Amino acid sequence: MSKNIIPRLRHFEQSSSQQHMSEADRYLSKLPSPTHNFVIIGTGTIGKEHMRVTHLLGRARVHGIFDTRKESADIAEREFAEISSEKLVRYSDLDTALEDPAVDAYFICTPNYTHYEVLCSVIKTGKPIFVEKPMATTVPDSVKMVEMVNEYSNFIQIGLQYRYKSQYQEAFHEALVRKTLGEVKTISVSEYRPPFLDKIGQWNKFSEYSGGTLVEKCCHYFDLINLMAESEPERVFASGGQAVNFRDFEKDGRASDIDDNAFVIIEYKNGIRANFTLNMFCADFDEEMIVVGEHGRLVAREKACFQQQKPPCSTIAVELGEQGASRVLEVNYPRIIEASGHHGATFYEHQKFMDQIEGKPADCATAEQGLWAVVVAAAAQDSIATGNPILIESFLVEKGLGHLLA
């Protein structure tokens, strides 16, 4: 039997009870050798998460890092040394990173407003590329990126990893594969959370740099809703504003202009209606998706008690009345995986990235899916700004992007 098919037991591998094993005695806990070299571009919050997750998954190694800010690279290098004894290359500029023949794939983890420009350089390598979400701050830049990807000889994956959270994996399976709910009619998603955290240069406090709150953060939720609806958005209406957060925040004499609450309604071409609620002035994190079909209701929920420092808890409830068996389940991944970032979703995102590199089928977030998440988010921002419902067809045609509707 091949060693590769024995599932890893990371908890035991890391347990002190196993640390005295010699290499010769390691069979179950023998670590696979990483086969690919990654470079992380932008080593801030998420760049470091990708570094840790690459190491935890173990199928690739972090070969090198590049950040325009020395302090970010210094801290990433220090944190890397805590998890790995391998050498880490620190590039002095992007071109040097892109010219290194030892590299197999690049992760673009820089702020939103830089993704398009950095991708234009990285794509010249012809290697697999991972681009963090949102793929760009505007619809036209996202479209240009999709066009680049369509011409690309390799693949590009977008960092929309919420789809791999355990509760959503189960929700998609119930609603779209088992079809337990019958035909889906409505989808409601909500996120209650604390304010945006500090960022390098505070790029997330300004719509110009982030694309606006609904693009920056909520593209994750619009991706989930698009996937669940299995259709294209037709009309978007939203109301939102800046009620509490960063109202007195200024940088270089400029006031923060990002929303901290919003209600968004989306109508899909197949008749599904969806809504999304955002509130960002809460002490804790509570995320919920409710899907209702002809035969039943599904509730997927994740609650994290930051204040009590309890691990997040995810559940899924299926309520079928007389149509079948109802149930409530706690869903989780191994604790070590959940703790590595975004409740384990980033780990499974890396698994898919590696599968793609190895030519295996993988349901990854494509550039086109990344674009549709930005389209809904940008239309919602537009609706907030104008007070009008936004017809996606006119919205795209006005931007000269009518060809997307074909």
Please choose, out of 37-45, 183-191, 245-253, 378-386, the segment that lies near ligand NAD by the rule CB under 6 A.
Answer: 37-45
Query: Cis link prior to 134 (omega < 30° from 0)?
Result: yes
- Is 214 an interacting residue with respect to ligand NAD (CB under 6 A)? no
Q: How far is CA 234 from the centre of its chain?
A: 24
For position 35 contacting ligand NAD by CB under 6 A, the verdict is: no
Q: Tell me how far, at minimum, the Cβ of 268 lies from ligand NAD, in Å.
A: 24
> CB count, 10 Å around CB of 234?
15
**162 or 237: CB nearest ligand NAD:** 162
Please identify which residue in 18, 29, 45, 275 interacts with ligand NAD, judged by CB under 6 A.
45
Return the amino acid letter for 39.
V
296 binds ligand NAD (CB under 6 A): no
Site string for ligand NAD, 143-182 (x = CB under 6 A): ----------------x-x---------------------
Which C-beta is closer to ligand NAD: that of 110 or that of 180?
110
- Single out the residue of 15, 35, 68, 394 in contact with ligand NAD (rule: CB under 6 A): 68
Contacts of 103 (CB under 8 A, 6+ apart): 37, 38, 39, 63, 64, 97, 125, 127
Provide the minimum distance between the beta carbon of 162 and ligand NAD in the complex, in angstroms, as a whole number.
Answer: 7
Under rule CB under 6 A, residue 132 binds ligand NAD: yes
From 10, 36, 38, 47, residue interacting with ligand NAD (rule: CB under 6 A):
47
Contact between 384 and 259 under an 8 Å Cβ cutoff? The reply is yes
Looking at this protein, which amino acid is placed at residue 278? Answer: L
Neighbours of 151 (CB within 10 A): 7
Taking the CA atoms of residue 366, residue 372, residue 378 and residue 384 in that order, the dihedral angle to the nearest 10 degrees is -140
DSSP single-letter state for residue 180: T
Q: Which is nearer to ligand NAD, 159 or 233 (CB)?
A: 159
Show Cβ contacts of residue 8 under 8 Å, excluding neighbours closer than 6 positions.
58
**Residues found near ligand NAD in the complex (CB under 6 A):** 41-47, 66-69, 72, 109-112, 114, 118, 132-133, 159, 161, 199-200, 216, 342
